[in-house]
């Protein structure tokens, strides 16, 4: 067996990045489309995690239980090429690959999907909002950063529930620091992914999903903070392109 010559971290967002859908919206689209509409309305006035928590309470009040939510999540698409790309990279003998999932979804959604898709062993850690089913079937969702405690104070624009940049820094500290990784590959699509991308170094890469918010921000050189990006940005549209990049460029 060859000893690994390089150490790689893959840090992936979940919705529209590792998963080919948005978990928060999808559950309502499958179970209660009227709540999906109302979720969009609620976004205008409530913080996103709080808005989702409120809509989960409404879903429960309408009689939907744990098995319904889990059933919806079991149909959420994970593209086989994305899974294959991650798995093949992790199996490579010449690389030591650590995979972190950094997501604004929640622990129940991600655990349920990962177990159903046999993906759980692929990820070394998942950092997301905490959630738990109550005995009566209500899914209780909370912000990762408690609204009643100290706030994260992010200046880039992360949502109050979590600063992905601060979470990435803390994860790095727990995992030997940036110098223990020859390269960090970040997979993301949303505006909340800009903050962690600003922490990446010159030798690191962000795989940005085309035509979504992170892509738009990075395309606009006059947008706030974009001139501070040090890593290389590589656009992708379909999971097959991530698989191809991981295979050929790492
Ligand atoms: Zn931030």
121 is in an annotated binding site: no
Edge to edge, the sheet with strand 183-188 lists: 125-129, 95-106, 6-12, 183-188, 205-209, 232-236
What pLDDT does residue 64 have?
A: 98
What pLDDT does residue 224 have?
A: 87
Mean pLDDT on 125-138: 98
pLDDT tens track for 207-217: 999 999 999 99
In a domain, 1, yes or no: no
Residues in CB range of 3: below 8 A, 6 or more apart: none
As a whole number of angstroms, the distance between CA 244 and CA 85 comes to 7
Ligand 1 center to residue 63 CA distance, Å? 37
As a whole number of angstroms, the distance between CA 16 and CA 9 comes to 20
What pLDDT does residue 1 have?
A: 58
What pLDDT does residue 17 have?
A: 98
Mean pLDDT on 190-195: 96
Mean pLDDT on 226-241: 97
In a domain, 100, yes or no: yes
Total structural domains in the chain?
1
In a domain, 48, yes or no: yes
Distance between alpha carbon 12 and the CA centroid of its chain, in Å? Answer: 6
Mean pLDDT, the chain, whole residue set:
97
Q: Are 26 and 64 in contact (CB under 8 A)?
A: no
15 is in an annotated binding site: yes
- pLDDT of 241 over the 80 cut: yes
220 is in an annotated binding site: no
Give the CATH number for residue 206: 3.40.50.1000
What pLDDT does residue 118 have?
A: 96
- pLDDT of 91 over the 90 cut: yes
Instruction: Name the residue among 70, 73, 67 with its Cα closest to residue 23.
Output: 73
Q: Please give the residue range of the domain that contains residue 151.
A: 6-249
What pLDDT does residue 149 have?
A: 97
Ligand 1 center to residue 82 CA distance, Å? 26
Would residue 204 show up in a list of annotated catalytic residues for this protein? no
In a domain, 11, yes or no: yes
pLDDT > 90: percent of the chain: 96
Q: Helix, strand, coil: what percent of the chain each, to 5? A: 45, 20, 35
In a domain, 133, yes or no: yes
In a domain, 236, yes or no: yes
Would residue 13 show up in a list of annotated catalytic residues for this protein? yes
Mean pLDDT on 124-146: 98
In a domain, 151, yes or no: yes
Mean pLDDT on 136-155: 97
pLDDT tens track for 52-85: 999 999 999 999 999 999 999 999 999 999 999 9
Ligand 1 center to residue 197 CA distance, Å? 10
Ligand 1 center to residue 166 CA distance, Å? 6
């Amino acid at each position: 067996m060859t000893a690994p010559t390089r150490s790689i971290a893959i840090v992936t967002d979940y919705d529209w990045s590792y998963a080919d859908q948005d978990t928060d919206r999808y559950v309502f689209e499958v179970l209660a489309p009227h709540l999906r509409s109302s979720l969009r309305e609620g976004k205008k006035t409530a913080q996103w995690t709080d808005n989702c928590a409120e809509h989960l309470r409404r879903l429960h009040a309408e009689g939907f239980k744990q098995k319904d939510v889990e059933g919806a999540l079991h149909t959420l698409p994970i593209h086989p090429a994305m899974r294959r790309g991650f798995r093949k990279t992790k199996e490579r003998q010449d690389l030591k690959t650590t995979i972190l999932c950094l997501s604004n979804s929640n622990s129940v959604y991600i655990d349920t999907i990962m177990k159903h898709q046999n993906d759980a062993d692929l990820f070394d850690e998942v950092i997301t909002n905490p959630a738990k089913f109550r005995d009566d079937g209500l899914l209780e969702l909370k912000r990762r950063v408690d609204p009643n405690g100290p706030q994260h104070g992010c200046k880039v624009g992360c949502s109050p529930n979590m600063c992905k940049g601060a979470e990435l820094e803390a994860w790095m500290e727990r995992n030997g620091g940036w110098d223990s990784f020859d390269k960090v590959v970040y997979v993301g699509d949303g505006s909340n992914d800009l903050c962690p991308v600003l922490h990446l170094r010159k030798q690191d890469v962000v795989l940005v999903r085309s035509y979504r918010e992170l892509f738009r921000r990075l395309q606009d050189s006059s947008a706030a903070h974009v001139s501070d990006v040090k890593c290389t940005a590589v656009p992708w549209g379909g999971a097959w392109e991530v698989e191809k990049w991981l295979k050929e460029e790492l």
